[in-house]
Amino acid sequence: MADAVIDLNADLGEGFGRWTLTDDEALLSVVTSANVACGFHAGDPSTMRRVCALAAERGVRIGAQVSYRDLAGFGRRAMDVPPDELADEIAYQIGALQVFARAAGSRVSYVKPHGALYNRVVADAEQAQAVVTGIQRSGAAVGEGPLPVLGLPGSRLLAVAESAGLPVVTEAFADRAYTWAGTLVPRREPDAVIHDPEKVITRAVGIARDGSVEAVGGEPIAVEARSLCVHGDTPGAAQLAWRIRGALASAGVRVEAFT
């Protein structure tokens, strides 16, 4: 793939009170976009403020990582939320993060669902529409035009967002197993998460440079991605992110934010 370019994003601010999960400071020295937890699956006001301040200092784009209201389950449990209620909750989370992004001299630049919500809106058009409606409702708080939506290629979320006039950004995961259909293998299944750093690095380069990744069974499938997610809750995530970035550079892939 000529002139390959990719964004590196990571889920950050995933703590609550005295409990912390991600090495935000270290990851913000590597990634170009930060998916900041907005308080529903993780995160609290002080954490949100701190991550926004660090991201602004380092020129990292700030994204709202919105989720179902599920602190106890880290946003990974399936939930049935009425669409209008979900739309309000999405708008609420984006607006809360915007306060701290603005205070840091930056802004919310995009939106990405988390966990169970991310997986649900791959195929559920009603919940996807609720997320898009929530993003639209947040417009008054953001005040700078339609927010881009980061999601899985071919998902209902990106289709609905595009139909509504929102910019869409395709995303891939180097450390997650893929099905033949191009969807992520559910975390409850064996080997859904890839822990071998060398394999993750190889997959990252393949996604960014060649637009392909090895699916379950060993055969490659096409993957369209403008952004590559580096999971912040992986042990040694920052070190792995640096290695991925170095490997991308060596492969001739330019790393830069999509917004």
- Residue pLDDT, tens place only, 30-44: 999 999 999 999 999
Query: In 3-state terms, the chain is what percent helix, strand and coil (to 5)?
Result: 40, 20, 40
- What DSSP character marks residue 206? I
Predicted local confidence at residue 234, as pLDDT? 75
Helical H segments across 44-148, by residue range:
45-58, 83-103, 115-123, 125-137, 139-142
The average confidence (pLDDT) of the chain is 94
Question: In this structure, are residues 95 and 48 in contact, taking their beta carbons and an 8 Å threshold?
Answer: no
Question: In this structure, are residues 139 and 90 in contact, taking their beta carbons and an 8 Å threshold?
Answer: no
CA 185, chain centre distance (Å): 17
Predicted local confidence at residue 139, as pLDDT? 83
Predicted local confidence at residue 231, as pLDDT? 82
Predicted local confidence at residue 76, as pLDDT? 94
- Residue pLDDT, tens place only, 51-103: 999 999 999 999 999 999 999 999 999 999 999 999 999 999 999 999 999 99
Beta strands 149-151; 168-173: pairing state: parallel
Band (pLDDT 50/70/90 cuts) for residue 204 is very high
In the chain, the percentage of residues whose pLDDT exceeds 90 is 86
Count Cβ atoms below 10 Å from residue 255 Cβ, excluding itself.
18
Q: Which residues are CB-contacts of 187 (< 8 A; sequence separation ≥ 6)?
A: 76, 193
Ramachandran region, residue 205 (left: φ > 0; alpha: ψ -120 to 50; beta: rest): alpha
Least confident of 142-146, 215-219, 252-256: 142-146
Predicted local confidence at residue 198, as pLDDT? 96
